[in-house]
Amino acid sequence: MRGCPIPPVMRRREDEEIMTGFRMLRTRQLIALSVTLVLLVLLALLYRRPDLFGEFSKGAIDTAQIVLIMAFIAFSVFNWRCPACKKYLGSDISRRTCRRCGARLR
């Protein structure tokens, strides 16, 4: 039935599922951001004092920082997608609606 509108009960259930999915995405994103920042601070500390936890070369620390940043970006590209249309949500962590499909996220 093409022209049938979606009943309000089903629409609310879909909206709740989208908002629940977004809460999970946002939580994972915030955890990943927190872990990345803590590790970057630790690596910066190791860069200043490479003998703090043993011997580390500054080149190895630079490489670890680059790998960590790239891993965070890759995680964000796959994680930070609209639960409704699966398009990338952009850089706004406080987004209320998807700019692509208009789905209510919060």
Domain ranges of the chain: 8-79
Residues 6+ apart with CB under 8 A from 23: 106
Lookup result for tokens 């609209």: 82
pLDDT digits (tens, 9 = 90+) for 41-82: 999 998 888 777 778 788 888 999 999 999 999 999 999 999
The closest alpha carbon to 84, from 73, 99, 74, belongs to 99
Please state, in angstroms and rounded to a whole number, the distance separating the CA atoms of residues 87 and 22.
12
User: What's residue 1's pLDDT?
Assistant: 47
Name the residue type at position 83: P
44 alpha-carbon distance from chain centroid:
23
